[in-house]
Chain A
Amino acid sequence: MANYNGVTAPSIAVQFFIGSTWTSTTASDVLETSIRRGRKQYDILAQAGVASIVFNNYSGAYDPDNASGPYAGQLKAGLQMRIVATWSSVGYTIYQGFLESSVVNQGQYPTVVMNFVDGLGYIADAQAPVLDSLQFSETAATRVGRMLDYAGWSATARSLTGSVTMATTIQGKSCLQMIYQAVNCIAGRFYISRSGVATLVPLSDKFSRPTQLLFSDQGDAFSMIYRGLIVDPGTYYVVNQAVVDRGALATKTSTYNPSRIANGLVSKRFDAPILNETSGANLALYESRQQADPVTYAKQIDFSALSLGQLYPDFLACEIGDQVSVKRLTVDNRSLQYNLVIEGMTHRITSDDWNVSFHTSPIDPYSITI
């Protein structure tokens, strides 16, 4: 039985945003919490982060039809929710999203399962309207900001960096498609942070992220034990030809021949309406090189988030794009180390355990000025 008291393990609070205030639900009502953020593998677009919370509904408080309950009239789609883990009196938001559905079980053991989706799902529903003519030659950050405006996203919950100038557009796509065009143009990353901030970072961001955790089966100082480790040889992710599709502008294609000869031609198209021709060529060069060599890496790390002691602040602060490291001593006495980037994560918090999986990609050292 885990003791989520803020001392033995972090205390966990599920909070609803009601009347401009975050209101905590009764901790003992939360039977199980499941969270998934980011993506499971790094060659796909980011997936919307989801959370599923099972509430004990003996009180009827979580029934959306209960007109006399403490949350009467509030448990509607779009209700903001966040999950806060508190350790040493410091609160860490580990998920923030919007209510999408409620499943009410009126059986002998009444429960309500609430499903939430984070900002990516919220933004994905919005469309960028078709314009009368090609407009808006603007930076990637400005374009993402406009898309967030279309989606009605809060102006204060965004952190956008991306200075590459994009070509004019007539729009007519979903806001999320438009945002990923901008992400492609800067070879960067877009995600909703654990505290609900829409975040756009450029290519250079990967060189400034901290190493949050060290997993080791050798008892290294400040390390954590892992329960499971899935290792991938990386061949599936090889890309040695990048086709940068700039729309009406010249398509830039770069092929990294040593990889093509070794692995065969693996081409990938990047929808990146980048204005400057040289920038487009540089983007193609970078994208044809950065995944050209298959790299063995730890694809998934499974571990328990109980009894972490002094490592709790580092664990709870983990964010998509941060770095982690895994040390492994094989049975034939080989010391291996994988340096990785967090692409996504899942949590399953029950009264007995707190299971976490990190979905990761290998650290990529390649850089270029776009």
Chain B
Amino acid sequence: MPLCPQITNTPITVTQTADFTVTSVVPLIADTSDGLAGNLESIEILADGKTKVYRQAAEPTGAGINDGDLWIETDAGNKLYVRAGGVWVSAQDAAIGTAQSTANAAAAAAGAAQSTATTALANAATAYNAAIASLQPSANTIVNASNQITAINGNGITVYSGASATTGARVVLNSAGLAAFNSSNVATFSLTASTGAAVFSGSVTGATITGGTLNIAGNAIIDGSGLLTATGATIQGTINANAGYFGSASNGFSIGATGLTGVGTGAITGGTIQTSSGSNAVILNGSSNAMQIKANGSVVTNMLNFSTSGALWHYGSSPDSSGASYPKVQLSSSNASIDASSTQYLAAGSNGNLVVGQTTYSGGTHTFSNAFVASSTATFNSTMFAPNLTTSTSATNLRVATGSIGEIQETSASSIRFKENVVPLSSVEEINHNKLLDLPVRAFTYKEGYLSENDDRLGVMLPGFIAEEVDAIYPIAADYGDGQVHSWNERFIIPGLLALIQDLYKEVQLLKGE
């Protein structure tokens, strides 16, 4: 489009009014350029000197009349004569007389028919007047067979069946548009001529709306392209879907009779998804990127991101990504924990440590604020630390048994409450303490790899016994593990040693004479 302002040339339609004089003239001779006049001239030349034609009332007389000339008697119905033998001989076609008779008969029949038609016309006029009187009781009203009245007045055309054209149930049509009113004089629908606006107070049923925009109270708008804009709209009841798609057939969601199915990279983003509107539900909360569990009407747990790199599941009514809401389950790149509070928790680190209630961790040492309790068998595949156990003179000893390697058991107690068959040691031959006198006392080092690298006695000569020798000489003090001799037990050596000391003490006293 050119840059300059555009002129608007508005058409004015020319119509034939009283200002115009229009005439139509049929030319006597067609366009001479087409050669017709020339042809006529040739015909005239050819006719000159040949047969003459007389068109007149009186009989042609005088010289120049030849046999073969024609006379048309203009006052006798153009009767045709031919000059023959010096006189005019009628050349009237006999068929003309026949045709005249036929025409006269037809004229008579037509007169009778006209009379009949005139009578019928008069009857029709009478019937018409009666019908008009019935149909139009007054100047501006028309009544139909159902006694519905159409009024034509300054308001336009009004169809009504009540008492008035201006009150009660009626339909009004005028230049402003079309409107209907109920018996209470309330408008039920209207169509505005100037704008095309339509207002209905009742239901629109069985209609197909093509093009334009459907706007439902501003809450749901569907435009001509199918775009649905919902503002505060609520869907209730059941939406039946069959082979539709959100997105596309390859990426999005297919909608079928069984529900919504993901297709390709279809994804639901944002918003809130909940499994039930009742008091118990699982909720995917898009605004906080959390999964929430609602129990008994309230949100009780939240599963969401922990800071920027982990996952968190905590108790509470709202999501808290700081990790400061307890109890919680927390996952990060290096550890996982179950926390009842900031100091009451169980944590598993990527270094293999299982930490209970850790409050500090320094120099490879964990400090526990609570005891580790196993309700059944607990297995440790590495060192178990309990460096800060409290001490007590009456505390039950803790031992590592050899029956199953590494098994931790309470040492058997010594109270008489647990014992019977109590006799002097020397009275039982197989555990007589004198056998200990044959037990070799050895020095040795532990083989490489057996002790912990942190052990103070690693590679150092140590005093002790050999368990196999103990088993051979004083088998009650030998402990077995995994079906073979594993160690010796000082709890069953010491009583024998004390008995030997007591015997020596008595001999010394005897030798001293005391």
A residues at B contact (CB < 8 Å): 134, 170, 172-173, 206-207, 210-214, 222-223, 247-258, 277, 281-282, 284-286, 288-290, 310-311, 314, 317, 323, 325, 339, 363, 365-368
Contacts and interface: CB of A to CB of B under 8 A. Distances in A.
Contacts of A172: 33-34
A214 B9 CA distance: 15
B455 interface: no
Contact of B31 (A222, A247, A366): A247
B206 interface: no
Contact of A252 (B1, B13, B22): B22
B23 interface: yes
Given A248-B30, A251-B27, A256-B19, A368 B14 contact: yes
Nearest to A223: B4
A255 B21 contact: yes
Contacts of A367: 11-14
The size bracket of the interface on B is: 20 to 34
Nearest to A289: B14
Interface in B419-468: none
Contacts of B27: 248, 250-251
Contacts of A248: 27, 30-31, 34
A257 B5 contact: no
B7 interface: yes
- In the A-B complex, list the 8 residue pairs whose CB atoms are closest, starting with the nearest: A248-B30, A214-B4, A367-B11, A314-B2, A222-B3, A255-B21, A222-B4, A211-B7
B191 to A, nearest CB: 31
Given A250-B26, A253-B25, A311-B3, A134 B10 contact: no
Contacts of B30: 247-248
B16 interface: yes
A288 B34 contact: no
B23 A258 contact: no
A170 B34 contact: yes
Contacts of B2: 210-213, 314, 317
Nearest to B22: A254
A366 B19 CA distance: 15
Contact of A207 (B5, B9, B26, B34): B9
A13 B197 CA distance: 59
Nearest to A208: B9
23 contacts: A206-B9, A211-B6, A223-B4, A247-B31, A248-B31, A249-B26, A250-B24, A250-B26, A252-B23, A252-B24, A253-B23, A254-B22, A257-B19, A257-B21, A281-B24, A282-B14, A286-B14, A363-B7, A365-B11, A366-B11, A366-B12, A366-B13, A368-B14
- Interface core residue of B12, B30, B34 (most chain A CB under 10 Å): B34
Contacts of B21: 254-255, 257
A325 to B, nearest CB: 6
Interface of B: 1-7, 9-16, 19-27, 30-31, 33-35
B22 A285 contact: yes
Contact of B24 (A214, A251, A258): A251
Given A210-B6, A248-B30, A367-B13, 7 more contacts: A207-B11, A213-B2, A248-B27, A248-B34, A250-B25, A257-B20, A323-B9
Contact of A325 (B7, B14, B16, B24): B7
A211 B5 contact: yes
B4 A213 contact: yes
Nearest to A285: B14
A94 B10 CA distance: 30
Nearest to B5: A214
B4 A255 contact: no
Contact of B16 (A134, A170, A250, A285): A285
Contacts of B22: 252-255, 281, 284-285
A335 to B, nearest CB: 14
Nearest to A282: B14
A258 B3 contact: no
A311 to B, nearest CB: 6
B5 to A, nearest CB: 6
B20 A285 contact: yes
A363 B25 CA distance: 32
B283 to A, nearest CB: 61
Nearest to A204: B11
B13 A314 contact: no
Contacts of A323: 7, 9
Nearest to B31: A247
Contacts of A311: 3-4
Given A250-B26, A253-B22, A288-B20, A310 B7 contact: no
Nearest to A286: B14
A21 to B, nearest CB: 32
A181 to B, nearest CB: 12
A157 B71 CA distance: 64
B333 to A, nearest CB: 61
A289 B31 CA distance: 27
A222 B2 CA distance: 9
B30 to A, nearest CB: 4
